[in-house]
Chain A
């Protein structure tokens, strides 16, 4: 950098700005020049609004109001009521995400390709996603409640004599996760499936493979990476369930998920270090599960004509 009187540089650029032009030139060769300033606002934004709060929260979680640096974590894991929220959350999110992905596969398999009304079906499926969990919760309270239409139909069909309890417990939250999560998973799986070259399957058929064999040995391996990604995204959605766990669940007991624990620590006890610690635990658990899935995904085939969407 500090080569001031090198004859080389003097030849390359004008004499007065030699040292400056020199390092600029060298940087530009590596792809760093003035245009990268366009990235500056976004980087500044991510640092200020995402990384800084994140590390601030991380630091805060090690500075509890009383006790040593790890005492908030110890408090969380030592308290069975709090620790149980992890299992409650996983018990809701994992089955819901799995069901959403697994149910999407046969339906998307049947619906890929062109047919009349496909656009209508996809549009209808987008509706619950855009409506969001709060409205779904409100609808579920009306629909699945003891005097709601669902129980009325069940009783009219004599499937049950008294209303089935479906809200303010585990099932209410589970259904809300299905209603918002299934369309999400389905649309992703559908786009992954349409990305798979259909001639591959036809080639398999000319070799005499039946539909199950074709699905099992041709389509499914190509679809697996896409399924792994879909599972991750659906799981993230289900894992952060908050409004429906409060509204259609039983936020004091059965569906006291970890985000409720974090919220209560922050906004009811005003114990921000503790809330940050819970949020960190939540993020860590989620990242562990996602990285396990993504790690397994790297073992799958992800070449061309695969279901990469």
Chain B
């Protein structure tokens, strides 16, 4: 934190570094930087805004704004794309993925955080790989295997495929979280006669709850937004919202542009609701990536 605040003329004589950096008449570099940021946000606003405006527009050809506004595209989209069912599938898939990945990931994270054992580095590396690989690379072999066993094309296949990046993600977010819980608490519980089971359920679980909530919400956001893996494994009745959106977009021209836009807005608002919930519990940078740099053994 640079301690120079908004006070004008902070440059106390003699203290070299405290230059008045935050005055309104900033250096050209500052203007350039802020200009770039504002330009980026304007374009972002344009990208999101044009979808939003178009979804309410009656007709929109060669003008700044559509001629008249209507909400009929939403009901159109809802019926045309059977959005009720798609949203249901999306929720089912994401909740299953969240539950299963916590169930698998948290115990593993506990062992990785607390114990040292031969092959720990190798285990870490294997858990890291699915995050470092692009989904399409492992998604195609994975989808092939899932089709071989008849799982792809159904809800179970979609859930299994989405677990691949989610479980490592839970492990990687939970391990540092468990590391910072004092191990003496567990020892004390064991000494007071708690078995492994009740130690986990009555001592560790309440302590881990905030971390589990954070990683659950992160997995939820990622799963709802995960396109590639769902796309490769979904059948006609197991599409999530993103995949349905993609299909309706790539078949553009068959359906009115506006109803596709309406669907995109529904997807956006779903993501934004999740995002607002997520930001109550996690740091924005955590939404981006949480890859522990070098696993210390």
Residues of chain A having any CB pair with chain B under 8 Å: 30-32, 35-36, 38-39, 41-43, 45-46, 49-54, 56-58, 60, 103, 106-107, 110, 112-115, 119, 121-140, 142-143, 147-150, 152, 179, 182-184, 187-188, 190-191, 194, 198, 201-202, 205-206, 208, 229, 232-233, 236-237, 239-240, 242-243, 246-247, 259, 262-263, 266, 272, 275-276, 278-279, 282-283, 286, 290, 308-309
Say if the beta carbon of B41 comes within 8 Å of chain A. Answer: yes
Q: List 8 A-B residue pairs with CB atoms under 8 Å apart, sorted by A's residue number.
A: A45-B163, A56-B141, A126-B275, A188-B289, A198-B1, A205-B17, A206-B16, A308-B293
How many chain-B residues does the 8 Å CB contact rule pick out?
A: 93
B141–A54 contact, CB under 8 A?
A: yes
Nearest CB in chain B: distance from A285 CB, A: 10
13 extra interface residue pairs, beta carbon distance < 8 Å, beyond A56-B141, A208-B16, A283-B137 = A42-B107, A49-B142, A49-B160, A52-B145, A56-B144, A106-B33, A112-B2, A123-B284, A130-B221, A135-B267, A139-B47, A149-B46, A240-B135
- List residues of chain B with CB within 8 A of the CB of A56: 141, 144-145
Contact of A107 among B1, B37, B46 (CB under 8 A): B37
- List residues of chain B with CB within 8 A of the CB of A46: 126-127, 130, 167-168
Nearest CB in chain A: distance from B71 CB, A: 18
The CA of A114 and the CA of B110, in the complex, are separated in Å by: 35
- Residues of chain B from 106 to 164 with CB closer than 8 A to chain A in the complex: 107-108, 110-112, 115-118, 123, 126-127, 129-130, 132-138, 140-146, 160-161, 163-164
Name which of B123, B167, B221, B288 has the most chain A CB atoms within 10 A of its CB.
B288
Secondary structure at the A interface, as helix, strand, loop or mixed, is helix
- List residues of chain A with CB within 8 A of the CB of B133: 236, 283, 286
Known contacts being A32-B118, A41-B104, A127-B275, is A142 close to B287, with CB within 8 Å?
no
- List residues of chain A with CB within 8 A of the CB of B116: 31
Residue on A nearest B279 in the bound complex, by CB? A123
